[in-house]
Amino acid sequence: MSKLVTIYGGSGFVGRYVARRMAKEGWRVRVAVRRPNEAIFVRPYGVVGQVEPVFCNIRDDASVAAAMAGADAVVNCVGILNESGANTFEAVQHEGAGRIARIAAAQSVAQMVHLSAIGADPEAASEYGRTKAAGEAAVLEHFPSAVILRPSIIFGPEDGFFNRFAGMARLGPILPVVSGGTLFQPVYVDDVAQAAVKGIKGEAAPGVYELGGPEVLSFHKLMEQMLQVIHRRRVLLPLPHFVAAIIAFAFDCLQGVTMGLVSNGVLTRDQLKSLGRDNVVAPGARGLSELGILPAALESVLPDYLWRFRPSGQYDAIKDSARNLRKIG
Protein backbone atom coordinates (compact mmCIF):
# COMPACT_ATOMS: atom_id res chain seq x y z
CA MET A 1 0.00 0.00 0.00
CA SER A 2 1.26 3.50 -0.83
CA LYS A 3 2.30 5.86 1.94
CA LEU A 4 -0.08 8.37 3.50
CA VAL A 5 0.48 12.04 4.28
CA THR A 6 -1.94 14.21 6.26
CA ILE A 7 -1.85 17.89 5.32
CA TYR A 8 -3.48 20.21 7.83
CA GLY A 9 -4.80 23.20 5.91
CA GLY A 10 -4.29 21.21 2.72
CA SER A 11 -6.90 23.13 0.74
CA GLY A 12 -5.29 26.52 1.48
CA PHE A 13 -3.00 28.55 -0.72
CA VAL A 14 0.17 26.53 -0.03
CA GLY A 15 -1.45 23.29 1.10
CA ARG A 16 -3.14 22.59 -2.22
CA TYR A 17 0.21 22.74 -4.03
CA VAL A 18 1.74 20.33 -1.53
CA ALA A 19 -1.25 18.00 -1.95
CA ARG A 20 -0.95 18.07 -5.74
CA ARG A 21 2.77 17.30 -5.66
CA MET A 22 2.38 14.46 -3.15
CA ALA A 23 -0.37 12.90 -5.26
CA LYS A 24 1.99 12.97 -8.25
CA GLU A 25 4.59 11.26 -6.06
CA GLY A 26 2.12 8.38 -5.65
CA TRP A 27 1.25 9.03 -1.99
CA ARG A 28 -2.23 8.89 -0.56
CA VAL A 29 -3.15 12.39 0.61
CA ARG A 30 -5.50 13.27 3.45
CA VAL A 31 -6.46 16.95 3.39
CA ALA A 32 -7.51 17.99 6.90
CA VAL A 33 -9.71 21.09 6.86
CA ARG A 34 -12.54 22.73 8.77
CA ARG A 35 -14.97 22.54 5.84
CA PRO A 36 -14.38 19.38 3.75
CA ASN A 37 -17.28 20.19 1.42
CA GLU A 38 -15.42 23.33 0.29
CA ALA A 39 -12.25 21.34 -0.39
CA ILE A 40 -13.68 18.87 -2.90
CA PHE A 41 -11.56 20.50 -5.62
CA VAL A 42 -8.48 18.64 -4.29
CA ARG A 43 -9.83 15.22 -5.27
CA PRO A 44 -8.86 15.43 -8.97
CA TYR A 45 -5.20 15.93 -7.95
CA GLY A 46 -4.92 12.13 -7.94
CA VAL A 47 -6.79 9.01 -9.03
CA VAL A 48 -10.13 8.13 -7.47
CA GLY A 49 -9.78 7.93 -3.70
CA GLN A 50 -6.14 9.02 -3.62
CA VAL A 51 -6.77 12.54 -2.32
CA GLU A 52 -9.53 12.96 0.27
CA PRO A 53 -10.62 16.00 2.29
CA VAL A 54 -11.53 15.21 5.92
CA PHE A 55 -12.86 17.30 8.77
CA CYS A 56 -10.42 18.61 11.36
CA ASN A 57 -10.33 21.32 13.99
CA ILE A 58 -6.73 21.84 15.07
CA ARG A 59 -7.93 23.25 18.38
CA ASP A 60 -9.15 19.77 19.36
CA ASP A 61 -6.89 16.79 20.21
CA ALA A 62 -9.33 14.08 19.12
CA SER A 63 -9.97 15.79 15.79
CA VAL A 64 -6.25 16.17 15.03
CA ALA A 65 -5.53 12.56 16.05
CA ALA A 66 -8.33 11.16 13.88
CA ALA A 67 -7.12 13.03 10.80
CA MET A 68 -3.58 11.76 11.43
CA ALA A 69 -4.38 8.09 12.07
CA GLY A 70 -2.10 5.83 10.05
CA ALA A 71 -0.13 8.68 8.45
CA ASP A 72 3.53 8.24 7.53
CA ALA A 73 4.08 12.02 7.41
CA VAL A 74 2.24 15.19 8.43
CA VAL A 75 2.40 18.76 7.17
CA ASN A 76 1.03 21.76 9.03
CA CYS A 77 0.06 24.57 6.65
CA VAL A 78 -2.43 26.23 8.99
CA GLY A 79 -1.91 29.91 9.67
CA ILE A 80 -3.95 33.10 9.91
CA LEU A 81 -3.30 36.77 9.14
CA ASN A 82 -6.27 38.07 11.12
CA GLU A 83 -7.88 36.75 14.28
CA SER A 84 -11.54 35.79 14.18
CA GLY A 85 -13.53 34.41 17.10
CA ALA A 86 -11.85 31.36 18.65
CA ASN A 87 -9.26 31.32 15.88
CA THR A 88 -6.72 33.53 17.60
CA PHE A 89 -3.02 33.69 16.79
CA GLU A 90 -2.26 31.88 20.05
CA ALA A 91 -4.81 29.11 19.47
CA VAL A 92 -3.91 28.46 15.83
CA GLN A 93 -0.25 29.30 15.33
CA HIS A 94 1.12 28.30 18.74
CA GLU A 95 -1.18 25.80 20.43
CA GLY A 96 -2.41 24.26 17.16
CA ALA A 97 1.11 23.72 15.84
CA GLY A 98 2.23 22.20 19.14
CA ARG A 99 -0.81 19.92 19.24
CA ILE A 100 -0.10 18.50 15.78
CA ALA A 101 3.56 17.87 16.68
CA ARG A 102 2.71 16.27 20.03
CA ILE A 103 0.17 13.90 18.50
CA ALA A 104 2.48 13.13 15.58
CA ALA A 105 5.18 12.08 18.04
CA ALA A 106 2.67 9.99 20.03
CA GLN A 107 1.55 8.22 16.84
CA SER A 108 5.18 7.60 15.78
CA VAL A 109 4.79 9.52 12.53
CA ALA A 110 8.06 9.36 10.58
CA GLN A 111 8.26 12.91 9.15
CA MET A 112 6.81 16.31 9.98
CA VAL A 113 6.94 19.56 8.02
CA HIS A 114 5.78 22.80 9.63
CA LEU A 115 5.07 25.95 7.62
CA SER A 116 6.11 29.03 9.57
CA ALA A 117 7.20 32.43 8.25
CA ILE A 118 10.17 34.74 8.00
CA GLY A 119 9.64 37.14 10.87
CA ALA A 120 8.95 34.40 13.41
CA ASP A 121 10.61 35.88 16.47
CA PRO A 122 9.76 35.73 20.18
CA GLU A 123 10.68 39.44 20.37
CA ALA A 124 8.64 40.49 17.31
CA ALA A 125 6.48 43.59 17.58
CA SER A 126 3.51 41.75 16.07
CA GLU A 127 1.62 38.96 17.77
CA TYR A 128 1.68 37.17 14.41
CA GLY A 129 5.48 36.98 14.55
CA ARG A 130 5.59 36.04 18.23
CA THR A 131 3.07 33.20 17.89
CA LYS A 132 4.84 31.90 14.79
CA ALA A 133 8.01 31.66 16.87
CA ALA A 134 6.12 30.02 19.74
CA GLY A 135 4.66 27.52 17.27
CA GLU A 136 8.12 26.61 16.00
CA ALA A 137 9.36 26.09 19.56
CA ALA A 138 6.38 23.87 20.38
CA VAL A 139 6.93 21.79 17.24
CA LEU A 140 10.61 21.24 18.01
CA GLU A 141 9.83 20.42 21.65
CA HIS A 142 7.64 17.50 20.64
CA PHE A 143 9.14 16.62 17.24
CA PRO A 144 12.85 17.61 17.20
CA SER A 145 13.44 16.15 13.72
CA ALA A 146 10.78 18.36 12.09
CA VAL A 147 11.54 20.41 8.99
CA ILE A 148 10.44 24.03 9.51
CA LEU A 149 9.92 26.24 6.46
CA ARG A 150 9.97 30.02 6.81
CA PRO A 151 8.92 31.62 3.52
CA SER A 152 8.95 35.32 2.75
CA ILE A 153 5.77 36.62 1.13
CA ILE A 154 4.41 33.90 -1.18
CA PHE A 155 3.10 34.64 -4.66
CA GLY A 156 1.06 32.54 -7.06
CA PRO A 157 -2.34 32.40 -8.80
CA GLU A 158 -4.36 32.26 -5.57
CA ASP A 159 -2.23 34.66 -3.51
CA GLY A 160 -3.77 37.33 -1.31
CA PHE A 161 -1.04 39.86 -2.01
CA PHE A 162 -0.64 40.72 -5.71
CA ASN A 163 -4.25 39.80 -6.50
CA ARG A 164 -5.43 42.11 -3.73
CA PHE A 165 -3.41 45.15 -4.79
CA ALA A 166 -4.07 44.56 -8.49
CA GLY A 167 -7.78 44.60 -7.67
CA MET A 168 -7.35 47.86 -5.76
CA ALA A 169 -5.51 49.36 -8.74
CA ARG A 170 -8.67 49.02 -10.84
CA LEU A 171 -10.63 51.29 -8.49
CA GLY A 172 -8.92 54.62 -9.05
CA PRO A 173 -5.83 56.61 -10.08
CA ILE A 174 -4.17 56.35 -6.63
CA LEU A 175 -2.80 53.27 -4.90
CA PRO A 176 -1.90 53.87 -1.22
CA VAL A 177 1.34 52.25 -0.03
CA VAL A 178 2.11 51.59 3.64
CA SER A 179 5.77 51.10 4.69
CA GLY A 180 6.93 51.34 1.10
CA GLY A 181 10.59 50.91 2.05
CA THR A 182 10.12 47.52 3.75
CA LEU A 183 12.03 44.79 1.89
CA PHE A 184 10.53 41.50 0.75
CA GLN A 185 11.93 38.43 -1.01
CA PRO A 186 8.85 36.95 -2.75
CA VAL A 187 8.90 33.18 -3.22
CA TYR A 188 6.76 31.19 -5.66
CA VAL A 189 4.15 28.99 -4.01
CA ASP A 190 5.17 25.86 -5.93
CA ASP A 191 8.79 26.32 -4.83
CA VAL A 192 7.54 26.28 -1.22
CA ALA A 193 5.56 23.13 -2.04
CA GLN A 194 8.68 21.48 -3.48
CA ALA A 195 10.53 22.26 -0.25
CA ALA A 196 7.70 20.67 1.76
CA VAL A 197 7.86 17.54 -0.41
CA LYS A 198 11.58 17.24 0.33
CA GLY A 199 10.78 17.27 4.03
CA ILE A 200 7.92 14.80 3.72
CA LYS A 201 10.09 12.30 1.84
CA GLY A 202 12.99 12.64 4.28
CA GLU A 203 15.21 14.31 1.68
CA ALA A 204 15.80 17.43 3.79
CA ALA A 205 17.87 17.55 6.95
CA PRO A 206 15.86 18.52 10.06
CA GLY A 207 15.79 22.15 11.10
CA VAL A 208 14.82 25.58 9.80
CA TYR A 209 14.91 26.71 6.17
CA GLU A 210 14.23 30.31 5.14
CA LEU A 211 12.67 30.47 1.68
CA GLY A 212 13.00 33.47 -0.60
CA GLY A 213 13.00 34.08 -4.32
CA PRO A 214 15.87 35.44 -6.44
CA GLU A 215 14.95 39.11 -5.89
CA VAL A 216 14.86 41.40 -2.85
CA LEU A 217 12.55 44.35 -3.52
CA SER A 218 10.88 47.07 -1.48
CA PHE A 219 7.12 47.13 -1.10
CA HIS A 220 7.08 50.19 -3.37
CA LYS A 221 9.08 48.39 -6.09
CA LEU A 222 6.77 45.37 -5.88
CA MET A 223 3.80 47.63 -6.53
CA GLU A 224 5.60 49.21 -9.49
CA GLN A 225 6.29 45.78 -10.97
CA MET A 226 2.69 44.70 -10.43
CA LEU A 227 1.40 47.83 -12.19
CA GLN A 228 3.67 47.14 -15.16
CA VAL A 229 2.24 43.64 -15.47
CA ILE A 230 -1.38 44.80 -15.37
CA HIS A 231 -0.67 47.71 -17.78
CA ARG A 232 -2.01 50.41 -15.49
CA ARG A 233 -0.57 53.78 -14.50
CA ARG A 234 -1.28 54.69 -10.92
CA VAL A 235 0.15 57.17 -8.44
CA LEU A 236 1.76 55.22 -5.60
CA LEU A 237 0.87 57.36 -2.59
CA PRO A 238 3.03 56.79 0.52
CA LEU A 239 0.67 56.61 3.47
CA PRO A 240 2.07 58.13 6.71
CA HIS A 241 2.27 55.66 9.57
CA PHE A 242 -0.18 57.59 11.76
CA VAL A 243 -2.78 57.59 8.96
CA ALA A 244 -2.32 53.85 8.43
CA ALA A 245 -2.65 53.33 12.20
CA ILE A 246 -5.97 55.20 12.23
CA ILE A 247 -7.27 53.13 9.31
CA ALA A 248 -6.16 49.87 10.94
CA PHE A 249 -7.76 50.85 14.25
CA ALA A 250 -11.04 51.77 12.54
CA PHE A 251 -11.31 48.48 10.65
CA ASP A 252 -10.30 46.47 13.74
CA CYS A 253 -13.08 48.23 15.65
CA LEU A 254 -15.55 47.50 12.86
CA GLN A 255 -14.71 43.82 13.05
CA GLY A 256 -15.07 43.93 16.82
CA VAL A 257 -18.46 45.66 16.98
CA THR A 258 -19.89 43.35 14.30
CA MET A 259 -18.54 40.34 16.24
CA GLY A 260 -16.59 39.18 13.22
CA LEU A 261 -19.44 39.45 10.70
CA VAL A 262 -17.33 42.08 8.94
CA SER A 263 -13.76 40.82 8.76
CA ASN A 264 -10.90 43.31 8.57
CA GLY A 265 -9.46 42.42 5.19
CA VAL A 266 -7.92 45.87 4.68
CA LEU A 267 -5.24 46.37 7.32
CA THR A 268 -5.03 45.30 10.95
CA ARG A 269 -2.94 46.91 13.67
CA ASP A 270 -0.94 43.70 13.99
CA GLN A 271 -0.24 43.61 10.23
CA LEU A 272 0.93 47.22 10.41
CA LYS A 273 3.49 46.18 13.03
CA SER A 274 4.71 43.36 10.78
CA LEU A 275 5.14 45.77 7.87
CA GLY A 276 7.69 47.71 9.86
CA ARG A 277 10.20 44.88 9.58
CA ASP A 278 12.06 43.60 6.50
CA ASN A 279 10.92 40.17 5.33
CA VAL A 280 14.03 38.64 3.73
CA VAL A 281 16.17 35.54 4.17
CA ALA A 282 18.76 36.01 6.92
CA PRO A 283 22.46 35.87 5.94
CA GLY A 284 23.79 32.33 6.27
CA ALA A 285 20.36 30.73 6.64
CA ARG A 286 19.64 27.45 4.88
CA GLY A 287 17.20 27.90 2.03
CA LEU A 288 16.04 26.68 -1.36
CA SER A 289 19.58 26.18 -2.69
CA GLU A 290 20.34 23.69 0.10
CA LEU A 291 17.22 21.80 -0.97
CA GLY A 292 18.28 21.76 -4.62
CA ILE A 293 15.44 24.05 -5.73
CA LEU A 294 15.95 26.85 -8.27
CA PRO A 295 13.50 29.63 -7.31
CA ALA A 296 11.16 31.12 -9.92
CA ALA A 297 11.39 34.86 -10.60
CA LEU A 298 8.41 37.19 -10.25
CA GLU A 299 8.52 38.29 -13.88
CA SER A 300 8.19 34.69 -15.08
CA VAL A 301 5.00 34.04 -13.10
CA LEU A 302 3.02 37.26 -12.46
CA PRO A 303 1.75 37.71 -16.05
CA ASP A 304 0.29 34.19 -15.98
CA TYR A 305 -2.35 35.17 -13.44
CA LEU A 306 -2.51 38.96 -13.19
CA TRP A 307 -3.55 39.45 -16.83
CA ARG A 308 -7.19 39.54 -15.72
CA PHE A 309 -6.56 42.90 -14.02
CA ARG A 310 -5.45 44.55 -17.27
CA PRO A 311 -7.83 47.13 -18.81
CA SER A 312 -8.91 44.67 -21.51
CA GLY A 313 -8.04 41.48 -19.68
CA GLN A 314 -6.80 38.71 -21.94
CA TYR A 315 -7.29 40.93 -25.00
CA ASP A 316 -4.88 43.65 -23.87
CA ALA A 317 -1.93 42.21 -25.79
CA ILE A 318 -4.04 41.86 -28.93
CA LYS A 319 -5.09 45.53 -28.72
CA ASP A 320 -1.45 46.58 -28.32
CA SER A 321 -0.53 44.60 -31.43
CA ALA A 322 -3.37 46.19 -33.39
CA ARG A 323 -2.23 49.68 -32.40
CA ASN A 324 1.32 48.88 -33.51
CA LEU A 325 0.02 47.62 -36.86
CA ARG A 326 -1.90 50.88 -37.43
CA LYS A 327 1.24 52.88 -36.67
CA ILE A 328 3.24 50.83 -39.20
CA GLY A 329 0.51 51.17 -41.78
Q: What is the predicted pLDDT for the residue at 138? A: 98
pTM score, whole prediction = 0.94
pLDDT score at 283? 95
Q: What's the one-letter identity of residue 270?
A: D
What is the CATH T-level fold of the domain 4-159+185-214+278-295, as seen in this structure? Answer: Rossmann fold (3.40.50)
Helix (H, G, I), strand (E, B) or coil at 115: strand
28 phi, psi to nearest 5 deg: -80, 140
Query: Please, which residues have CB within 8 angstroms of residue 18's CB and are 6 or more apart in sequence?
Result: 7, 10, 75, 77, 193, 196, 197, 200
Q: What is the pLDDT of residue 321?
A: 60
Which residue blocks in the chain are alpha helix, DSSP H?
15-24, 61-68, 89, 97-106, 127-142, 162-169, 189-200, 219-229, 241-257, 269-274, 298-306, 316-328
Confidence (pLDDT) at 319: 66
- Spans in the chain with pLDDT lower than 70: 317, 319-329
Q: Which residues contact 96 (CB under 8 A, 6 or more apart)?
A: 58, 59, 76, 78, 135
- Whole-angstrom distance, CA of residue 128 vs CA of residue 139: 16
Domain boundary assignment for the chain: 4-159+185-214+278-295
